[in-house]
Amino acid sequence: MQDPSTSASFKLSIVIPMYNEEQGARECVRRVKAVLNSMGCDHEIIFVNDGSVDKTLEYLIDEKSRDEKLRIVDLSRNFGHQAAITAGLDRATGDCVIVIDGDLQDPPEVFPRLVEKWQEGYDVVHARRIKRKGMSFLAHLRAKVYYRIMRAISEIDIPVDVGDFRLISKRVCDNLRQLREKHRYIRGLATWVGYKQTIIEYDREERFAGVPQYTFAKLVHLSMAGLTGFSKFPLRLGVLLGAFCFALCLIFASILMLWPAATASWTPAVIAILFVGALQLVCLGIIGEYLALGLEHHRNRPLYIVQEEY
């Protein structure tokens, strides 16, 4: 168990997913090491090479030959950011673990602030992006809207504008290792585990080098993992839309009955279409409810996590 008072005698694990980051890999190692050395704590840096097809792995292996605290997990292919982070978390041995992107958009200089919060007793310290340099207006808007939709329909309170840059305690890392669902949304899972959580704020930098490795398709996949993993609202949409159709159907039927002279010849047809449509949507929604139940079982998350036992 963490002992916040023994500030100098803890081990910090850093997990860094890397996919085609050859241009920034060495700079990433340099900056992360500089911060860790200034902090003076024991540490390990776990790079997960997520099937890079450039020289990322070669450079990392070279860096490791000069620093035994570096560890490299080389995945057999590109499994994606969330899977790469998971591979790192599965191997972390520290008292607390920081996950950070390898493109230096998240400044390693924030580490001491994350650790400080952990030492104050927090198990999860999220890092919230205040400014996002070098992001187009549209991408910025897309992120803002997505985080807010998630907050509105999610079953748990996932903080907005928070990505995967965060510190987690050893016990949270152990808990995350138990959650083996395929469509992973780690920021949701890290919130789901509970305990004392807090948020620090930072400015997101531009990439040090290279281009974003998150293609639009990968972004959609991540967003869907968030929506389906933490909200049943999309499944229930059928019932809501069905109710809406029923309401319209009633309005038209009332008009037809109260003011027959005012109604057009198409009104009965519209009522029939709305009625059948509503029936179908409600049935779809009910299937959705059962699907949601099946999903819960399939995910196989533990029913609860014990924080401490006296």
CB of 29 to ligand UDP, least distance (A): 13
Could you give the C-alpha distances from 57 to 18, 39, 80, in angstroms and in order? 9, 27, 16
The site that binds Mg ion (CB under 5 A) totals a number of residues, namely 2
CA torsion 2-201-177-24 (nearest 10°) is -110
By CB under 6 A, tell whether 84 contacts ligand UDP: yes
By CB under 6 A, tell whether 213 contacts ligand UDP: yes
Tokens of 7: 């500030």
By CB under 6 A, tell whether 102 contacts ligand UDP: yes
Sign for the CA dihedral angle at 50, 54, 55, 58 comes to positive
CB of 204 to ligand UDP, least distance (A): 8
Q: In this chain, which stretch among 17-25, 91-99, 236-244, 282-290 interacts with ligand UDP, using CB under 6 A?
A: 17-25
With a CB cutoff of 8 Å and minimum separation 6, the contacts of 240 are: 285
Nearer to ligand UDP, 66 or 77 (CB): 77
By CB under 5 A, tell whether 105 contacts Mg ion: yes
By CB under 6 A, tell whether 17 contacts ligand UDP: yes
* Residue 81 contact partner, candidates ligand UDP, Mg ion, none, CB within 5 to 8 A by sort of partner: ligand UDP
* Residue 102 contact partner, candidates Mg ion, ligand UDP, none, CB within 5 to 8 A by sort of partner: ligand UDP
* CB-CB contact of 302 with 181 (8 Å): no
Tokens of 34: 């500089």
Q: Detail the DSSP E strand segments found in 69-116.
A: 70-74, 96-99
CB of 114 to ligand UDP, least distance (A): 17
For the sheet containing 124-132, what is the strand order?
Answer: 70-74, 42-49, 11-18, 96-99, 162-169, 124-132, 197-204
CB of 144 to Mg ion, least distance (A): 17
With a CB cutoff of 8 Å and minimum separation 6, the contacts of 274 are: 245, 246, 248, 249, 252
CB of 84 to ligand UDP, least distance (A): 4
Q: In this chain, which stretch among 40-48, 96-104, 145-153, 178-186 interacts with Mg ion, using CB under 5 A?
A: 96-104
Q: Which residues pair with 132 in a beta bridge?
A: 204
CB of 32 to ligand UDP, least distance (A): 12
**Binders in 153-212 for ligand UDP, by CB under 6 A:** 212
Nearest of 223, 156, 151, 147 to residue 189 by alpha carbon: 156
Could you give the C-alpha distances from 281 to 275, 287, 298, in angstroms and in order? 10, 10, 25
Tell me the C-alpha distance between 67 and 77, whole Å: 25
* Residue 88 contact partner, candidates ligand UDP, Mg ion, none, CB within 5 to 8 A by sort of partner: none
Q: In this chain, which stretch among 18-26, 102-110, 171-179, 215-223 interacts with Mg ion, using CB under 5 A?
A: 102-110
By CB under 5 A, tell whether 103 contacts Mg ion: yes
* Residue 214 contact partner, candidates ligand UDP, Mg ion, none, CB within 5 to 8 A by sort of partner: ligand UDP
Residues that bind Mg ion (CB under 5 A): 103, 105
Residues that bind ligand UDP (CB under 6 A): 17-19, 21, 50, 78, 80-81, 84, 101-103, 105, 212-214, 218
